[in-house]
Structure 1
């Protein structure tokens, strides 16, 4: 009998367009050679243009889904996405405390690509207090990093002036081990992703900026990292592999509807695609 693949448990909302959310996690995790496990946190009404409505599940349903799976199947990594409500955040925090040895990758979904608010300020405070101390790797884009890092500032507009280095330092102070800030929303010629740990920048990766707007890129990156970690790779190697996979999926992306493009998570990297990144390894662990 062949060895079963590693198992990755995703907490995410359902997305009927299959561009983001649980469906995106499932496709990515499977494409990375792992077995996907899925806990639904919310139902959404969304398409490739944005999220039109959101219905969080009852917290008890989230807990029952999770504990039933955990009692049956060994989990090698958790991936957290859109969590739905403050009560669900509290339930997930309790579950993570019961499984301290399982690495956690979190994509802090605060808004949709077009700006639909998906997370309240109360939820952000709970994420900072209850989840980030348990997170192995946090993968915010630059907008999410600034909002999460300076959620306690009275003047929220001033948070936009903070450097990404300062944001990473504040996020690491909450207790998470690594922060990977993605640069898709920055006004730069290339997309620069920056990896931090222990209060310092240890790696940057520069990627060719693609011409389209994509639905589900953050889900894809975080799920690919979780799958790589579950497969036994180091954090740095997982970040490298997941970025390569995500860029390839985006570059092969397609537009199924009237809105954003969707990553093609079934693509296969070619040698040419793997060399489109300029890497600067600032400090090896």
Structure 2
């Protein structure tokens, strides 16, 4: 039996984005930034730039499972992050995988559309997320649009969160960047109630990969034993700073600078003064 490594291993199941802004690269950079080792499992190949997704091809679900099992049987994975799956067969495969490792914390980022609105999931996938994956999920991190799409008929975001909790996920974090509010309000729910609201200044522009950044950062913190509320707070603060230092590398959305902490120009700045809990 191998010794427990000093660096926790976080598995991420996500699609490849050739811009490096979202998907598997976003996860890798965020997990490393949180002090963990990423174990990336590719679920889909996408064709996209910083403006939109032009196409994607889900991987054979058997290949997804084989990738994951090869790592899980070799390394002591401490947490799993799930992102873009792209097919109901992939959802079913991940359901089987999570059922075999029910004690691992799971962060589920329900990627339903691109930043410009191009659909990446159909009704069958939405239903699969709710019925097959939510019961194994520690924390689900939908934005407000995704929360409404997953809970059709819910008239408020609070009601959306309650519906998702009823599906079996332990916690729900609904992010508020898509809402028409002066500041961004990110709300954490659990135990069938609203637990906390984290408010940050709204930044100018649109960003590519912020949801991936947030969910994988939180997964890495959970892998280190951080309690969910603290992991959410720290993950939100980290993500806000990656956006504050984002680069415009293409003609569309800015790409978060997930390695902002390595730059001398931001030495000593944590961003805590702009991140408040209500």
TM-score, normalising length from structure 1? Answer: 0.93
How far residue 4 of structure 1 moved from its aligned partner, in angstroms, is: 2.6
The separation in 1 between residues aligned to 2:258 and 2:135, in whole angstroms, is 31
Query: Which residue number corresponds to residue 36 of structure 2?
Result: 34
Please give the alpha-carbon distance, in whole angstroms, between the structure 2 residues aligned to 1:48 and 1:130.
31
1:189 equivalent in alignment to 2:178: no
Q: Displacement of 1:199 after TM fit?
A: 1.1
Counterpart-to-counterpart distance in 2, 1:36 and 1:272: 23
Q: Deviation at 1:198?
A: 1.4
Q: Does residue 70 in structure 1 map to residue 72 in structure 2?
A: yes
Counterpart CA distance in 2 for 1:272 and 1:107 is: 25
Q: What residue is the counterpart of 2:140 in the other structure?
A: 138
Query: What are the equivalent positions in structure 2 for 1:112-131 lying under 5 Å apart?
Result: 112-131=114-133
Deviation of 1:271 after TM superposition, in Å, equals: 3.9
2:260 alignment partner, SS class? coil
Once the two structures are superposed, residues 202-261 of structure 1 have per-residue CA deviations (whole angstroms, 9 ceiling, x without a partner) of 100110000010000000000000000001110011001101100000000011010100
- Structure 2 distance, partners of 1:235, 1:204, is 14
Counterpart position of 1:253? 246
Q: Which residue does the alignment assign to 1:240?
A: 233
Q: Please give the per-residue CA displacement for 1:148-178, whole angstroms capped at 9, x wherever unaligned.
A: 122xx5xxxxx5xx11100001000000000
- Inter-partner Cα distance in structure 2 for 1:39 and 1:116: 23
Which of these residues, 84, 96, 99, is aligned with residue 97 of structure 1?
Answer: 99
Runs of 4+ aligned residues of structure 1 deviating over 3 Å after TM superposition are 269-272
1:57 shift after superposition:
0.6
DSSP 3-state at the match of 1:237? helix
**Partner of residue 275, structure 2:** 277
- What TM-score comes out, normalization by structure 2 length? 0.95
Match of 2:172 among 179, 200, 208: 179
Alpha-carbon distance, 1:50 to partner = 1.2
**Over aligned residue pairs, what C-alpha RMSD do you find?**
1.4
Structure 1 spans left out of the alignment, 5+ residues: 154-158, 281-285
* Structure 2 partner of 1:110: 112
Q: C-alpha separation between the residues in 2 aligned to 1:249 and 1:4? A: 26
| Secondary structure, aligned partner of 2:271 | helix
* CA positional deviation for 1:272: 5.7
Tell me how far apart the structure 1 counterparts of residues 215 and 256 of structure 2 sit (CA, whole Å): 14
